[in-house]
Chains A and B, each alone.
Chain A
Amino acid sequence: MGRLDLPFVVAFTVLMTIAPLFLNAYHVDVLNSIGLYALLALSLNLILGEAGLFNMGHAAFYAMGAYTAAILNTRYQIPILWTLPLSGLVAGLFALAVARPVVHLRGDYLLIVTIGVGEIVRIALVNDVFGITGGANGIFGISRPKLFGFVIRQPQHFYYLIWGFVALTIFLFYRLKQSRFGRALNYLREDEVAAEGSGVNTAYYKLAVFGLGAAWAGMAGTLFAAKMTIISPESFSFWESVVLFMIVILGGAGNMAGVLLASFLVIGLPELFREFSSARMLVFGLVMMIMMIVRPQGLLPARGR
Chain B
Amino acid sequence: MEEFFQQLTNGLAVGGIYALIALGYTMVYGVLKLINFAHGDLFTYGAYLGLTLLTSLALTDRLGFALGVLVLVLMVMGLVAVLGAILERAAYRPLRESPRLSAVVSALGASIFLQNTLMLIYGARFQVYPDDILPAATLHVFGLYLPLMRVLIVLASVLIMIALYLFIQKTKIGTAIRAAAIDQGAARLMGIDVNRVILLVFLLGPALGGVAGLMVGLYYGQINFTMGWVYGMKAFTAAILGGIGNIPGAMVGGLLLGVIEALGAAYISIAWKDAIAFLVLILILIVRPTGLLGERVADKV
Contact = CB atoms under 8 A, between A and B. Distances in A.
A105 B288 CA distance: 10
A147 interface: no
A242 B237 CA distance: 16
Interface in A89-145: 101-102, 104-109, 111-113, 115-117, 119-120, 123-124, 126-127
B43 interface: no
A292 interface: yes
A119 B105 contact: no
Interface in B19-45: 29, 35
A245 interface: yes
Contacts of B291: 109
Contacts of A193: 299-301
Contacts of B269: 127
Contact of B113 (A111, A285, A296): A285
Contacts of B98: 292, 296-297
Given A112-B240, A282-B116, A292 B105 contact: yes
Interface residues of A, number: 49
Contacts of B108: 242, 245-246, 285, 288
Contact of A109 (B101, B289, B299): B289
A293 interface: yes
A218 B183 CA distance: 43
B290 A109 contact: yes
Tell me the dominant secondary structure on chain A's binding face: helix
Interface in B90-148: 90-91, 94-95, 98-106, 108-117, 119-120
Q: Contact size class for B?
A: 35 or more
Interface stretch (B60-68, B164-172, B273-281): B273-281
A58 B11 CA distance: 31
A56 to B, nearest CB: 9
Ranked 3 nearest A-B pairs via Cβ: A288-B109, A285-B112, A285-B113
Interface of A: 48, 54, 101-102, 104-109, 111-113, 115-117, 119-120, 123-124, 126-127, 192-194, 197, 238, 242, 245-246, 249-250, 253, 278-279, 281-282, 284-289, 291-293, 296-298
22 contacts: A102-B285, A106-B289, A108-B35, A109-B285, A113-B282, A115-B278, A117-B278, A117-B282, A123-B274, A238-B233, A242-B108, A245-B108, A249-B104, A250-B105, A278-B119, A285-B113, A285-B116, A286-B109, A289-B90, A289-B109, A292-B106, A293-B95
Given A116-B282, A123-B271, 17 more contacts: A101-B282, A104-B289, A106-B290, A106-B297, A120-B279, A126-B271, A197-B301, A238-B229, A278-B116, A279-B116, A281-B116, A282-B116, A285-B108, A285-B111, A285-B116, A292-B109, A293-B94
